[in-house]
Amino acid sequence: MNQDSDLTIPQQSTPTLQEYPACSDPPGGVLQGFNDEKPPSLPLQLPLFLEFPKPQKKAIDRVLARLSCMELPGKGYVEDYLRHQHRRNFKLNTLRSTLTACQLFLSFLKDGGKASLEQITRQDIEAFVEHELDRGVTIVTVKTRLAAVYAFLRFLHERGIVEAELLVRKIRLRLPDPLPKAINPDDVKELLSVVDHVRDRAMVLVLLRTGMRIGELLNTRVSDVNIEERKIAIWEAQKNLVGRVVCISDDAVWALGAWLRKRDPNKGLLFYGQGRSSLTYQGARALFVKYLKKAGLSHKGYTLHCLRHTFASEVLNAGMRLEAVQVLLGHSNAEVTRRYARLTDKTREEEYFRAMEIIERGEINGDYRLDS
């Protein structure tokens, strides 16, 4: 047989569609002439679009590619730690955050004249925290990076690289505990009045009526949506990796149905950008900023995450139990959900104004008394 000749498929090995019941219908013309009775007798040449795709680059490979360009003390241990996190199924964003924290901390040590990890002291950690704060990094970000540094040091201690005293009496940063920022009801109406694109309106209403995180919505596939039961399945939450099911209100179902009728059925993700198979967070944020400007709300500091805060505040004001809200938001800790109760405590508000009416009418009897 000539090596340059086309491959001829014998009759007994010809595949049929019945052998692959799970496969979807192939593109027109790809299997033209194939049937159970008359297999093709002509040589078969696979079209270019049926060639096997190149394997996707793993998350750990992308992070390690960044690490390879850095000159850090203990660089090999950083790689080991990142691989350790990867084996424990840490997300790509976590790996990136770990690398950033380790890079900043180890670069700070290097600039201070320390060339090995064995030389790290508690004073080095304290100085690193002060350095980050002096650079204007927010206290929340510094705390996140400090936690990543301590996790790396614990990994090093388990391998006998650093002393246990580094992990005793850890540095604690006290964070502010601000109220969640919900969007004013009148501002919500103004915002919805200017969102005129069918896709964007569906996105905003789903976020506003479900309390989903924007990352969860952008990862939602069409198959995760059940319009008849008015539910969306979140198989793996963005933060705690715990799945949940959220409900969809009537107005969000209507907006979502309009988008489902118009969207490209060949796209797997529910929302995608023009000419793309997905929509990035940066793209979604840019759209939201555009509509805020159009509604004249740019100066109020609203973000996409404020839609989630607004959902929680509104359902609590409507009388939903705190435990139910916790499940819908996907909070592991009830204390996180309880922050919204501080924002929406109608009972306390009513008691305050009832007390003020008594005071303003001058109906308080007795003298003022200071408890000793």
Under DSSP, the state recorded for 159 is T
Instruction: Give the whole-angstrom CA distance, residue 355 versus residue 99.
Output: 55
**b/e per residue, 267-295, with b = 16+ CB within 10 A?**
eebbbbeeeeeebeeebbeebbeebbeeb
Cβ atoms of 284 and 235 within 8 Å: the answer is no
Extract the tokens encoding 180: 């969640």
pLDDT recorded at residue 19: 40
**Max CA distance (Å), the chain:** 114
E strand or H helix that includes residue 118:
none
Domain 59-167 listed as CATH 3.40.50.880: no
Extract the tokens encoding 211: 């309390």
Extract the tokens encoding 253: 């179902």
71 — phi, psi (to 5°)? -110, 100
Rg (CA), the chain: 29
Could you read off the pLDDT tens digit of each residue along the chain, which spans 372 residues?
444 444 444 444 444 433 434 444 444 444 344 344 444 444 444 444 444 445 556 788 999 999 999 999 999 999 999 999 999 988 888 999 999 999 999 999 999 999 899 999 999 999 999 999 999 999 999 999 999 999 999 999 999 999 999 999 899 988 877 778 899 999 999 999 999 999 999 999 999 999 999 999 999 999 999 999 999 999 877 665 678 999 999 999 999 999 999 999 999 999 999 889 999 999 999 999 999 999 999 999 999 999 999 999 899 888 888 899 999 998 888 888 888 877 777 777 888 888 888 888 877 765 555 554
pLDDT recorded at residue 273: 92
Extract the tokens encoding 285: 């944020």
pTM of the model: 0.64
Domain ranges for the chain? 59-167, 185-348
249 — phi, psi (to 5°)? -75, 170
Cα distance from N-terminal residue to C-terminal residue, the chain = 108
- Homologous superfamily (CATH) for 185-348: Intergrase catalytic core (1.10.443.10)
Extract the tokens encoding 140: 């929340």
Residue whose pair of structure tokens reads 């409507």 in the numeric block? 318
